[in-house]
């Protein structure tokens, strides 16, 4: 079985590395986009990172341009946008594909560990259900990433313990992250 810390990824300068430096940390891995309706999640993610980084939280940003071409630009342009607009200073990696033929091993691993559980309730969730169903009527039956800002929570032992769709209330995401951080 693959260990998440041994999976090869590309850093934002496109150098191959692994996630081994994060052993013993709580990870929140996110596929992001700079021109998405969910882009304000960056602000909430940065706030959560600041609040919990000294307790072992690391947020890993993987830009993805697969959904509506909403992550244009180079990794450096994306990093500059995120730091200047939202003050983001958590680690960013190279732009990736999260689904399909060119999906990265990391996101294949994450999706296998935590499949799609639905968009939840509320106006945004209802919108996403209809929006995604137009393109993929069978979306509920696959573990594919449905849109930007899907988040995966990994505990200190490298276990993928939860998946949050972009429609999930960020306060609930933070609550779950905090509960995992407190487990030592």
Q: From CA 150, how far away is CA 138, in angstroms rounded?
A: 18
Model pLDDT for residues 55-67, shown as the tens digit of each residue: 999 999 999 999 8
Give me the active site residues, please.
36
Model pLDDT for residues 30-59, shown as the tens digit of each residue: 999 887 888 888 999 999 999 999 999 999
* Stronger pLDDT, 1 or 180, i.e. the higher one: 180
Range of the domain at 109: 4-182
Model pLDDT for residues 98-113, shown as the tens digit of each residue: 999 999 999 999 999 9
What does the pLDDT average to over 129-143?
A: 91
Q: What is the pTM of this model?
A: 0.95
Q: From CA 61, how far away is CA 82, in angstroms rounded?
A: 10
Q: How far is CA 13 from CA 19, 59, 92, in A?
A: 15, 18, 10
- Tell me, what CATH number does 101's domain have? 3.40.30.10
Structure tokens given for 183:
């487990």
Instruction: Please give the tally of structural domains in the chain.
Output: 1
């Amino acid at each position: 079985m693959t260990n998440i810390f041994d999976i090869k990824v590309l850093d934002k300068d496109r150098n191959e590395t692994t996630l081994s430096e994060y052993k013993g940390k709580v990870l929140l891995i996110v596929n992001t986009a700079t021109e998405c309706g969910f882009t304000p999640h960056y602000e909430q993610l940065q706030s959560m990172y600041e609040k919990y980084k000294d307790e072992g939280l690391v947020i890993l940003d993987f830009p993805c341009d697969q959904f509506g071409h909403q992550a244009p630009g180079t990794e450096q342009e994306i990093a500059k946008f995120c730091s200047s607009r939202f003050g983001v200073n958590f680690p960013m990696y190279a732009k990736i594909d999260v689904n399909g033929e060119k999906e990265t091993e990391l996101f294949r691993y994450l999706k296998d560990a935590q499949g799609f559980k639905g968009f939840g309730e509320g106006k945004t969730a209802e919108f996403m259900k209809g929006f995604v169903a137009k393109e993929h009527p069978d979306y509920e039956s696959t573990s594919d990433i449905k849109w930007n800002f899907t988040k995966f929570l990994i505990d200190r032992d490298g276990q993928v313990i939860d998946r949050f769709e972009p429609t999930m209330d960020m306060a609930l995401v933070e609550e779950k992250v905090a509960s995992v951080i407190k487990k030592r």
